[in-house]
Amino acid sequence: MTMGRCRLAIELGFLFLASAVFAGSAGAQPMPLLNLMPVPSSVQQGTGSLPIDSRFSVTLLGYTEGRLERAVERFRGQLSRQTAIPWAAKPSVSGATLIIQTVHASRAVQEVGEDESYVLEVTSTGARLTAPTPLGAMHGLQTFLQLVSVSPEGFAAPAVTIHDSPRFPWRGLMIDSARHFMPMAVIQRNLDGLEAVKMNVFHWHLSENQGFRVESKKFPKLHEMGSDGLFYTQQEVRDVIAYARDRGIRVVPEFDLPGHSTAWFVGYPELASGSGPYQIERHWGVFDPAMNPTQEGTYKFLDEFVGEMVQLFPDQFFHVGGDEVNGKEWTANPKIQEFMHSHGLKDNQALQAYFNQRMQSIVSKHGKSMIGWDEVLDPTLPKDITIQSWRGADSLAEAAKQGYRGILSNGWYLDLGWSAARHYAVDPFGEKAATLSAEEKARVLGGESCMWAEYVDEENVDSRIWPRNAVIAERLWSPAAVRDTEEMYRRMDVISTRLGWLGLTHKTYYDKMLHRIAGPATPEQFAALRNLADVVEPVKDYTREETAENEPTSATPLNRVVDAVPLESDQGRRFNELVQTFGNSSCQDAGSELRLRSQLALWADNDAAMQSLAQTSFLAKAVLARSQDLTAIAKVGMAALDLVKKGGGALNDWKERQLAIVEQAEKPKGQLLLIPASGIKALIVLAASPAGCSPAH
C-alpha cells in the first residue's frame, strides 16, 4: 500500500499544479469540455479511447469502506444501464479495467470543506481513479460515467487525464416538502440526481404553514395534527440521510421559525402569538401566525424539539428559516407589546432578532451551527451563524463583510421559471461580492438552488429541477471561466438524457400529463396539443398568483397545461434561433427557410384540431386562446417570409399591424407565454427592411 500512497501523493501534488496552470492560462488552448457537467477543474485529452465491454471490471485499492463499495456497485449498475451491457458473471481476474485508490476515510459526518478532489486517468488500456478519500472517488466515478458513450466501435471512454476539485464547498438543492408533500421516491431519485452533478447538500424544507412533515416522538401532535397524515417517519428520515451519505451528500434540515409555522400551532396553539385555534393553511402566501417569542414556554418547547431533531439529523448545520414574518400577531398581542417595551425591543425586527438569539443559543447548546435566511442577519447575533441569501449576492457580500458565512440562493429559485442561461449567469461572487477581500470571499461557502413547492407535486417536480439544476451545479463546482451558454445548452441536453436513465422523471412526465389533458383523443388531436405545449412556457417570477383566474390553494389540481410544460421551451428557443440563423444568412440559407416554412405551416394548421379537442376537454379548452394565437402568428410569419423572399420592403403600415398582432400574442394567457412570438417579430422586421433582408440586431 505504501507505493500506492506515494503515487497518490505525487498525483495530488500534480493536481494543485494543474489547477494553477488552468487558472492562469485563460488564453491558452481551450480545455476540452467533452460532455461533462459540471466541467472539471482540468481536463487533458489523450489519444484513443478505452473500450467498455462485458469484461469491464473494477478493483478497489488502498483504503476502502462500505459506502465506497456500494458506490462501486451502483456505478457498475449505472454503467450497465447506460450501455445495456450485462456484466460477465465472473469478471476476469487478470486485471481490472478501472482501479480505484483512496488513502483514508472521509469524516464520519460529512463536513463543509472536506477534501472532494480526485484524479481520473483514462487510457486506451485502463483507467485509474485516485482520491484522498471516498468522497473524491465517488465524484470521480460520476465523471467516469459521463465519459462513457456510444462510439464508432462500441461503447468507450475517451483517453483523458482529469484533475478535479470544486470551486465552492457548499453546493446544494433545497426541496420544499412542506407545501406539497414529496414522497420518499421523489427525494431518493433527486439525491441520485445531485450525486450525478456533484452537488453535496440536500436542504430539506420540512415545516411550513401548510404542513409539518417529520414525525416527532416528543411532540407527536406536530405531525399528527399538522400534516394531513403526510409526513416522514423518523425511520424514513434516517433512510434519506443514509441514502444521501452514500452519495456524498449532507442533509440540512430546515424548520422555518418564527413565521411560516401555522402547522405547528394546529397541535400546539400555546406556541403561537395569536389566540387560535389554528388550522393547516390551505392557501399560499405570507400569513400572520408566528411563534410567541416572549414566553419561556416557547423556548422550552423548541429546546426539547431541537434536542430530538439533532438526534435524527447528524449534520453540523441546523436551519431555522427566519424569513417573512409579517409581525401582525405580535403587534396585535398586548402581552407581546408589553414584553417588547420592557425589554427595549423597539420594533418587530428587534423582536425577531431576540428570538433568533435565543434560537441560536438553543441550536448551539445542541452542538449545531445555525443557518437562516437573510432576515436572521443581525449584528446582535454571533458570527457562528450562516446566512442563506434569497435577496442576492449584494446581501451575501454585506454578510461576509460583517464576518458572517453565507450561501447564495437568489437567482437560483427554480420555481420562478427562469431560463437555464439566466440561472447559469448567476455567481456567488457576482455583484458586490466580486469586490470582497480574499478573507471575506472565503466566507461565501457556495449556494443552493431552491425548489419551492406551491406549484409542483411529485408528478412535475423533477421537471422544474432538472436538467437546469445541473447548470447551477456547474456554476458551483467548475472554474468561474466556464461560462459559454451555447456550449452549456449542448452539454445540458446530454446530462438531461443521463439523468433520465438514472430514474428522474423530468423527461417522461410530459406525455403523461398531456394525455391526461387530452383524454381519449385522436392521434391528430394529441399531436396538436403537443405542438402547442411544446412552444409555451409558464409565466415567470411571481406572476402565477396574479394571473390566476381562481386563487390557487393546496387543493388545486396541478393538471393544467401550465403545470405540464417544461419551464423552458426547447422548441421555441430553437425556432427563434433558426430565424436568427436565417436572418444572418441575409435570408439566403435555403435549409433554414425550408425548416421555418414547415414549422410555420404546422402551427398555422394547428388550431383546427385544438378546437375539436376543446369540445371534449375542459383542460384543452382553457388554452384555446393560446392555440389561436399560435396559429395567428404562424400565419403572420408565413406572410412575412413570403415578403422577405419577394425582396422585402414591406410597408410600415403592414409592419405595424403585424407587430400589433404578435405583441398581443406575447401577453400571457392561461398563464402561458408564447415563445415563438419573438422569432415572428424578427421575421416581420426582416420583411419590412428596405434592403429585403437585413438582420435585426
Q: Summarize as ranges the residues that interact with a second copy (CB under 8 A).
A: 35, 54, 81-86, 88-89, 149-154, 228-229, 280, 457, 459, 490, 493-494, 497, 500-501, 507-508, 511-513, 515-520, 523, 554-555, 557-559, 563, 570, 574, 598, 615-621
Beta carbon nearer to a second copy, 25 or 151: 151
Beta carbon nearer to a second copy, 363 or 620: 620
Residues comprising the chain, all counted: 697
CA dihedral angle for residue 112, residue 114, residue 115, residue 120, rounded to 10 degrees: -70
Phi (first) and psi of residue 306, to 5 degrees: -60, -40
- CA distances from residue 49 to 76, 157, 160, 161 in whole angstroms, order as listed: 19, 5, 8, 12
State whether residue 686 is helix, strand or coil. Answer: helix
The distance of closest approach from Cβ of residue 202 to a second copy in the complex, given in angstroms and rounded to an integer, is: 24
The distance of closest approach from Cβ of residue 19 to a second copy in the complex, given in angstroms and rounded to an integer, is: 26
Question: Strand pairing partners for 156?
Answer: 51, 149
The distance of closest approach from Cβ of residue 58 to a second copy in the complex, given in angstroms and rounded to an integer, is: 16
Catalytic-role residue among 114, 304, 324, 545: 324
Residues 545/556, Cβ–Cβ less than 8 Å: no
Beta carbon nearer to a second copy, 271 or 504: 504
Beta carbon nearer to a second copy, 419 or 689: 419
Beta carbon nearer to a second copy, 326 or 611: 611
The distance of closest approach from Cβ of residue 49 to a second copy in the complex, given in angstroms and rounded to an integer, is: 12
The distance of closest approach from Cβ of residue 525 to a second copy in the complex, given in angstroms and rounded to an integer, is: 12
**CA atoms within a 13 Å half-sphere pointing along the CA-CB vector of 518:** 23
338: CB partners within 8 A, 6+ apart: none
The distance of closest approach from Cβ of residue 598 to a second copy in the complex, given in angstroms and rounded to an integer, is: 8
Residues 327/348, Cβ–Cβ less than 8 Å: yes
DSSP 579-598: HHHHHHTTT--HHHHHHHHH
The distance of closest approach from Cβ of residue 387 to a second copy in the complex, given in angstroms and rounded to an integer, is: 35
Determine the distance from the C-alpha atom of residue 280 to the mean position of all C-alpha atoms in its chain, rounded to a whole number. 28
Beta carbon nearer to a second copy, 366 or 621: 621
Residues 474/488, Cβ–Cβ less than 8 Å: yes
State whether residue 382 is helix, strand or coil. Answer: coil
Q: In whole angstroms, what is the distance from residue 223 CA to residue 91 CA?
A: 49
Beta carbon nearer to a second copy, 493 or 656: 493
Q: In whole angstroms, what is the distance from residue 14 CA to residue 406 CA?
A: 31
Could you tell me the three cell numbers for 186? 421523489
Q: Please name the residue that has the C-alpha cell 447528524.
A: 314
Look up residue 112 and give its amino acid. V
Quote the DSSP letter at residue 557: -
Could you tell me the three cell numbers for 374? 437573510
Q: Please name the residue that has the C-alpha cell 434540515.
A: 253
The distance of closest approach from Cβ of residue 88 to a second copy in the complex, given in angstroms and rounded to an integer, is: 7
As a whole number of Å, the end-to-end CA separation of the chain is: 62
Beta carbon nearer to a second copy, 144 or 429: 144
Beta carbon nearer to a second copy, 347 or 493: 493
Beta carbon nearer to a second copy, 156 or 363: 156
The distance of closest approach from Cβ of residue 497 to a second copy in the complex, given in angstroms and rounded to an integer, is: 4
Furthest-apart CA atoms within the chain: distance in Å: 82
Q: In whole angstroms, what is the distance from residue 595 CA to residue 613 CA?
A: 27
Beta carbon nearer to a second copy, 602 or 661: 602
Residue from 521, 533, 526, 543 nearest 563 by CA: 533
Residues 537/565, Cβ–Cβ less than 8 Å: yes
The CB-based long-range contact list for 132-135 (8 Å cut-off, 24+ gap) reads 132/8, 132/12, 132/102, 132/103, 132/104, 133/63, 133/102, 133/103, 133/104, 133/105, 133/106, 134/63, 134/64, 134/65, 134/67, 134/68, 134/71, 134/102, 134/105, 134/106, 135/106, 135/110, 135/248
Q: In whole angstroms, what is the distance from residue 569 CA to residue 533 CA?
A: 9
The distance of closest approach from Cβ of residue 312 to a second copy in the complex, given in angstroms and rounded to an integer, is: 26
The distance of closest approach from Cβ of residue 572 to a second copy in the complex, given in angstroms and rounded to an integer, is: 13
Look up residue 584 and give its amino acid. N
Based on the residue annotation, tell me whether 324 is a catalytic residue of this protein. yes
Q: Around Cβ 74, how many Cβ atoms within 10 Å?
A: 18
- List the catalytic residues: 324
